Amino acid sequence: MANRFRSATGFTGSTMNSTRPDRNELIAFARRYASGVSDRSPLEQLRGGSLNFVWRIHSPSGKSFIIKHAPPYIASVPDIAFDDSRIVFEVNILKAFQFRNELNQLIGISVRPPEFLGSDNRRHLLLMEDIGAWPDLLQAVRFTGYNFASLGSNLGAYIAQLHLQTYQNKWFADNFANLPVQRTRLQVQYNGCLEFCRRAHLPDAEKIGKLCRQLGEKFNTVGKCLIMGDLWPYSILLGREEIRLIDWELTHFGRPAQDVAHLSAHLWMMFHRTSRPSQKDRIGRFRQTFLASYFNEVARQKPELISAEDERDFQIHFGAEILARTLGNFQNNYLYDGLTPEHPVILEAIAEARKWIYGDYAAFKP
């Protein structure tokens, strides 16, 4: 959810910067798990995310590592409280990738998370593999040389396996009920839709707001499979043939729409916001193969994963995400930054969102 909160959400925190670890503490933490890190190791704070503090630490051998710290507020907006247990969920899922047999099926798809190296749950610290400076999806579509059709297809297969292999799995249900995060999403995103629609003076704001709120209430429960939870362009780092998925703090035992419709909505917005045919082509191919591969895998293995109710959830989440990015708390620093509710581009996006929310499009599947 990078760069996406504005203080208008009404959340207040009190702990502020007092919990933020200093250089000595970060180095001591990294040294526990990474040989070669020393008192003089260069430590660089990374930009990019906004919920947490993230650093790259170098060892003299040239190896580097990533440290992530979750404060009990949003790092870039310290007066908005946000439950710091989110990093424990990220720690636990990165660890689970190392020892849960269910997740073995995800190996070999050319998509993976960074390797877990160490954690301090009391201090809300995580040490992980440094992927390096791979471009995220938003950046990568500007370049030639990536096979977007195959990358999209691999990501679709990977997310399908994540959902399928954990479907109705008690261990994942017991360990990944990330309800603090879902509660915040309900408050700032789904409940917010009413206000977002009012900003655009939509005559049916109440009706749309109610559909989105009901969806958020459903998502604020334990669902049917493990989801990545933050599947948007900034979490997807691209190599020529491979993908690394970062930022798993919103992972939850939830419902498929919050991954699949989420990324699909972002790809629609990326497509909408670029005027370059070459970029439209890459984004379109990525989206088409992502969805085709996801739904094919599900149909082949466990069609019961996606019920008619889930398909309806896909549509509403797709629309709700567009509303949040065009009129809502997550407009800042993203694709529609600075555009007023009356701007023709915003009106186009709202029209698209409404159609999905009302279910005017027959099916979500390609």
Ligand X SMILES: Nc1ncnc2c1ncn2[C@@H]1O[C@H](COP(=O)(O)OP(=O)(O)OP(=O)(O)O)[C@@H](O)[C@H]1O
Residues that bind ligand X (CB under 6 A): 1-2, 46, 48-52, 54, 66, 68, 114, 128-131, 234, 246-247, 249
Give the range of 243-251, 266-274, 291-299, 317-325 binding Mg ion by CB under 5 A: 243-251
Residue 131 or 222 having the CB closest to ligand X: 131
Q: Residue 129: beta bridge partners?
A: 65
User: C-beta of 131: minimal distance to ligand X in Å?
Assistant: 3
Q: How far is the CB of 54 from ligand X (least distance, A)?
A: 4
Q: Which residues pair with 73 in a beta bridge?
A: 81
Three-class SS state of 347: helix
Minimum gap (Å) between residue 232 Cβ and Mg ion = 10
Under 8 Å between Cβ of 282 and 238:
no
What is the 8-class DSSP label of residue 234?
G
Q: Which of 84, 90, 247, 310 binds Mg ion (CB under 5 A)?
A: 247
Q: Which is nearer to ligand X, 94 or 194 (CB)?
A: 94
In the complex, least distance from residue 60 CB atom to ligand X, rounded to whole angstroms: 20
What SS3 state is found at 253?
strand
CB under 5 to 8 A by kind: which of ligand X, Mg ion, none does 128 bind?
Answer: ligand X
246 binds, among ligand X, Mg ion, none (CB under 5 to 8 A by kind): ligand X
Which own/partner contact pairs does 274-280 have at CB distance under 8 Å and 24+ positions apart? 274/141, 278/144, 279/141, 279/142
With contacts defined by CB under 5 A, name the span among 43-51, 203-211, 287-295, 327-335 that binds Mg ion: 43-51
Smallest distance, ligand X to C-beta of residue 256, A: 21
Closest-CA residue to 300 (of 177, 186, 196, 157): 157
Q: Is 51 in the site for Mg ion (CB under 5 A)?
A: yes
Which CB atom, from 84 or from 247, has the smaller least distance to ligand X?
A: 247
Q: Which residues of 111-136 are buried (b: 16+ CB within 10 A; e: fewer)?
A: bbbbebbbbbeeebbbbbbbbeebeb
Spatial contact of 56 and 73, defined as CB atoms under 8 Å apart: no
Q: Is 136 in the site for Mg ion (CB under 5 A)?
A: no
CB atoms within 10 A of CB 56: 16
Least distance in Å: CB of 53 to ligand X?
A: 7
Q: Which of Mg ion, ligand X, none binds 131 (CB below 5-8 Å, type-dependent)?
A: ligand X
Q: What is the CA radius of gyration of the chain?
A: 20
Q: Which residues bind Mg ion (CB under 5 A)?
A: 51, 247, 249
